Amino acid sequence: MRGLRTLLLLTTAFLLLPFEALAEDNPLRLWHAYRGAEEAALQAAADRYTEQTGTKVQLTATPFGAFEKKLETAIPRGNGPDLFIAAHGNLGKWQDLNLMVSVLPQDGQQPLATEALQDNDLQWGHPLALKTLLLFSDPELVDAAPTTTDELIAQAQALTDGQTYGLVYQAGTPFFHAPWMHGFGAESIGPNGAELNSQEHIDAYAFTQRLSHTLDIMPKRPTAQLLSQLYNDGRAAFVISGPWFLSEIDRPIRASSLPIISENGQPAKPFLSVEAIFVADGARLPEEAADFAAWLSSSEGAQIRQDTGKQAVTATEIEPTDDPIISAVLEQSAQAVPLPTDSDISNVWRAQEKAMEALVSGGASAKRTAENAAYFHSIYSREAPTPASAAPYWILMLGVLGGGVWWVRRQWGNADLRRRLRLHRGDYLWVLPAGVAMLILVALPFAMGAAVSLYAHQGGEWTFVGLSHFWEILSASETGFTSPMSFWYTLVVTLLWTVTNLMLHVGIGVGLALLLREPWIRMRGVWRALLILPWAIPNYITALIWKTMFHVQYGAVNALLGFGGEPANVDWFSSFSTAFCANLITNTWLGFPFMMVVTLGALQAIPRELEEAAEVDGASWWTRFRMVIWPLLKPALMPAIILGSVWTFNMFNVIYLVSNGGPMGSTEILISDAYQWAFSGGNYYGYAAAYAVLIFGVLLIYSRFANRLAGRRVL
Amino acid sequence: MRTPGKLKVFIAHAALVLITIVTLYPVLWVLKMALEPSQSFSMGLSPLPSEVSLENFKAVVSTSDAQGALFPRQLWNSLIVSLATSVLGVSLAATAAYAMSRWDFPGKNQAMGAFLVTQMFPGVVMAIPLYILLDQFQLLDSLTGLVLVYATTSVPFSVWTLKGYFDTLPVALEEAALLDGCSRWMIFRKIVLPLARPALAVVALFSFLTAWNEYILAATFMNDPHAYTLPIVLQSYVTDYGTEWGNFAAGSILVSLPVVVLFFALQKHFVEGLTAGGVKG
């Protein structure tokens, strides 16, 4: 106990110390998501700037996945940086959110880069570098880069055999589909908004399907990691990727522009993204920030970024480079379409990505994919519910409040209760700290989150819409009840998910525990220790590992199913049943150790004599289990089962990391669906919050039911 | 009970070996990627490394920025946050659980229910409101903020487990002490807490794990890499452009190792601490 007290004092002392600011003298704070050479170049440039001006710049690398979300939460609340570096694609959305201030245009920049950053007659950031997709080829396999798609296909077909693939790229994502989409004359957002079901779109989808599926020149489900792996093994002749691809390559590589589409003679046009430095709204040092941003973008900053970071910089007056990759990016930029900045673009990405899942696995035709994309987009971009008057809700709230006061007064009239309250006065002190903490840090945030469900969030604007979200969700008015996008479909999947998981967790856990307590099992301690490992390792690590193990061509699971011969050919993420199984297997692996340990504990309390008596009476193994062990085990296991079911019901990590809801959202559970609404696509926080409230409601109903199931109050 | 026949014993052991292999397979995979000096994901069937080097571990441990070394600082953050979460979470939970186990005050059952209902709040909606709250209290970018949030997350499970355990402890001892003039606080500290050690160990471990493994909230609240905890660092090896698998795996092992050691050390307590309440309660 003494040691514990020291520990307590030490940790409290440490926590009370304010987190010391690392640089005392107020530097410029810059957030970026660069890694490797680009990060080094940025640091070098910042150092040079400090030498010249004396202004210090503090660089903060933020994990890529969290970067945008961080900017969007921190800056509006005044906790953001002075500057941030990002691609220009979010310009529209970030203008809505007021994340940055405009800057004065500068000369000496490529016009297309400056134009991409202008909107509403103002320039919103200083351009730094250009990024586009390129065609990479392996000089050891390919003599010269092809100029047309027919040539590309012919060469790729000639080079494809059991080991090597002619072409590798992430065909199923809209960003990588864009070169063909633009080449066939389609646009993600045209002058009249998104028209995703045009003939041009269908032609482009058909071409993507040919490349990725019909021609058999590509591996299945190529992920970013597969790209670099195959290339480094000399097993990929052509790769379509961006300049970032190079950081993972350790072999010679050639970069060239994307080929001309043979069908219509038009060049394939990838998206052009202009990386820029933005001055954040509410910057502490706005003038210094603007000065640094301009300097970093100018020829002086650009030179360092080009030489050290291998960036295709936008500044024009710099020493030219002979770096072939930079030249290729600059050349391709002339034939590229700047990323649209319309705030609807995130809905288009989300819709196309979802529709294309089936396209590249051959599950849907080009025509069907275009229809799906348009349909998904219509749902994602539908109008927010009409604003509602808040008056009835105020009246309702007053009513509830009044009811509460009336109830308390009535209770107060109860003399017996008053007496008991006085008697137990001291008891409440014991519960108070935990109660207050829970109230402030759990109940209050949830109430705030729940209140958000009464508002609609679109384009940075909040409008009060009352209960419309709930009505929309529960009536499935947009989608119909049976569509995988409806609440009810997802609820059924979630229930199926919870029930199957628990059956497996409990079945395997109890089975192993029964086995492990037999005295004739050798090394019981060792088995037990090894079998709880899945519980001890953080689940976001192992879920990612499992996902890769389910890869159709290179995954260990299919290799095992081949029993030593040819690997099985199960495309795990192509259909609901297999994708669901992949999630289920992963979560079973994660979940059985908990049940095993709980059962082992419970079994200790069951006297073996009972069982032995039953055995003497000639009861079979099953009868002994059913009549003796289970009745004694059940009361101990029930709380764990019920708690486990709540955890499984909200098991976000596994769904998000393993199947990510695919194919086409069919394996999404309620919580992951809510997350998608909030954070991918259009930030429908209100809609997502309504989902969360409904999840809570479902679990609350379940807990009533669970108490009856357990035969006593558990929850 | 008699020992079953040789065949049955053999089958049982064979089954155990098989299940253990399946269980260990993904873990070995992480080990393999951590030890092979490359950043790509290994494909194929064998989970044994083809080449062994500590390069990835070195890379992960030696990360730094202009202000100095990062990894030791982040490890320290993780440790402090997790330990403080344990201490705070268990202190909050133990007093509440004891009161609920011993005294029949009005509203007790409702409170018990309320603690468990909080387990049903979906985390998705909590991140942004929590951000706003912590911002109000000037606790963003601070380890204290993280500790407060994590401790409250772990309290319901702890209250529930500890109450179950306290219920099984005999009241006679405490009644005797009360007659001898001990205060309730004295009894709680000198008699009840020492007796409840197995359960305390389990809930302390759980609270520790909550803090040790969490990354979504941490990534939202922390802006300064020197204030990061290790899970955020691990997450930064996974990007849309590809994953630095070697570093990710090496980092994963460094993150998992202390937990695995704790698990093994506390295994015995687990079995007792987790279920005693349930069996007799």
Residue with the larger pLDDT of the pair A137 and A629: A137
The mean pLDDT of chain B is 85
Res A73: pLDDT:
85
Nearest C-alpha neighbor of A380 from the set A356, A339, A353, A344: A344
Contact B66 A532 (CB under 8 A): no
Query: Are the beta carbons of A535 and A600 closer than 8 angstroms?
Result: no
Query: Are the beta carbons of B37 and B56 closer than 8 angstroms?
Result: yes
Residue among A224, A420, A520 whose CB faces B3 most closely? A520
Mean pLDDT, range A98-125, rounded to an integer: 91
Q: What confidence tens digit (pLDDT) does each residue in A567-622 have?
A: 888 889 989 999 999 999 999 999 999 899 888 878 877 777 777 787 777 778 88
- Which residues have CB under 8 Å from B268's CB, separation 6+? B198
**Which among B124, B163, B188 is the top mutation candidate for probing chain A, defined by the most A β-carbons within 10 Å of its own β-carbon?**
B124
Report residue B236: phi and psi, to 5°. -75, -10
Res A457: pLDDT:
83
Tokens of B98: 């004891």
CA distance B231 to chain A (A): 9
Res B208: pLDDT:
92
Give CA–CA dist A312/A324, Å, rounded: 11
Query: Are the beta carbons of A92 and A119 closer than 8 angstroms?
Result: yes
**Which among A430, A548, A647 is the top mutation candidate for probing chain B, defined by the most B β-carbons within 10 Å of its own β-carbon?**
A430
Contact A438 B80 (CB under 8 A): no
Residue A428 buriedness (CB in 10 A; 0-12 / 13-18 / 19+): middle
The most confident of the ranges A6-10, A349-353, A618-622 is: A349-353
Q: What is the DSSP letter of B192?
A: I
**A73, closest residue in chain B (CA to CA):** B128
**B105, closest residue in chain A (CA to CA):** A424
Q: Where are the beta strands (DSSP E) in A193-253?
A: 236-241
Residues of A in contact with B114 (CB under 8 A): 438
Res B275: pLDDT:
58
Residue among A434, A688, A689 whose CB faces B159 most closely? A434
Give CA–CA dist A297/A125, Å, rounded: 10
Res A11: pLDDT:
60
Residue with the larger pLDDT of the pair B204 and A320: B204
Give CA–CA dist A266/A7, Å, rounded: 70
Q: What confidence tens digit (pLDDT) does each residue in B29-45 have?
A: 888 888 987 776 666 66
Q: What confidence tens digit (pLDDT) does each residue in A176-195 have?
A: 999 999 999 999 998 888 88
**B11, closest residue in chain A (CA to CA):** A521
Give CA–CA dist A428/A405, Å, rounded: 21
Residue with the larger pLDDT of the pair A714 and B62: B62
The mean pLDDT of chain A is 88
DSSP element (H, E) containing A334: none
Give CA–CA dist A171/A323, Å, rounded: 28
According to DSSP, the residues that pair with A463 across neighbouring strands are: A456
Percent with pLDDT over 70 in chain A: 95
Res A312: pLDDT:
92
Give CA–CA dist A123/B164, Å, rounded: 63
User: Where residue B279 falls among pLDDT bands split at 50, 70, 90?
Assistant: very low
SS3 category, A55: coil
Report residue A136: phi and psi, to 5°. -100, 145
Is residue A536's pLDDT more than 70?
yes
Res A2: pLDDT:
52
Give CA–CA dist A283/B124, Å, rounded: 29
Contact A544 B238 (CB under 8 A): yes
**Which among B38, B121, B189 is the top mutation candidate for probing chain A, defined by the most A β-carbons within 10 Å of its own β-carbon?**
B121
Tokens of A456: 């609609």
Query: Are the beta carbons of A201 and A185 closer than 8 angstroms?
Result: no
Is residue A454's pLDDT more than 50?
yes
Contact A7 B83 (CB under 8 A): yes
Res A14: pLDDT:
57
Give CA–CA dist B122/A305, Å, rounded: 44
Give CA–CA dist B68/B78, Å, rounded: 18
From residue A357, how far is each of A220, A345, A438 by CA, in Å? 12, 19, 42
Is residue A399's pLDDT more than 90?
yes
Give CA–CA dist A159/A147, Å, rounded: 17
Contact B133 A643 (CB under 8 A): no
- Which residues have CB under 8 Å from A168's CB, separation 6+? A218, A219, A222, A226, A227, A230, A231, A236, A238, A239, A240
Res A495: pLDDT:
95
Res A1: pLDDT:
46
Is residue A245's pLDDT more than 90?
no
Residue among A11, A23, A428 whose CB faces B80 most closely? A11
Residue with the larger pLDDT of the pair A413 and A262: A262
Residue with the larger pLDDT of the pair A432 and A13: A432
Give CA–CA dist A619/A617, Å, rounded: 6
Mean pLDDT, range B94-98, rounded to an integer: 94
Question: pTM of the prediction?
Answer: 0.88
Res B271: pLDDT:
67
**B226, closest residue in chain A (CA to CA):** A22
Contact B106 A23 (CB under 8 A): no
**Which among B120, B157, B161, B235 is the top mutation candidate for probing chain A, defined by the most A β-carbons within 10 Å of its own β-carbon?**
B120
CA distance A334 to chain B (A): 23
Residues of A in contact with B148 (CB under 8 A): 437, 441
Res A474: pLDDT:
92
Is residue A22's pLDDT more than 70?
no
From residue B179, how far is each of A584, B98, B172 by CA, in Å? 56, 19, 11
Long-range own/partner contacts, residues A191-198 (CB < 8 A, 24 or more apart)? A193/A344, A194/A344, A194/A347, A194/A348, A194/A377, A194/A381, A195/A374, A196/A348, A196/A351, A196/A352, A196/A370, A196/A373, A196/A374, A196/A377, A197/A370, A197/A371, A197/A373, A197/A374, A198/A370
Is residue A20's pLDDT more than 50?
no
Mean pLDDT, range A62-73, rounded to an integer: 80
Is residue A19's pLDDT more than 60?
no
**A449 CA to centre of own chain:** 20
User: Where residue B281 falls among pLDDT bands split at 50, 70, 90?
Assistant: very low
Res A383: pLDDT:
81
Is residue A65's pLDDT more than 90?
no
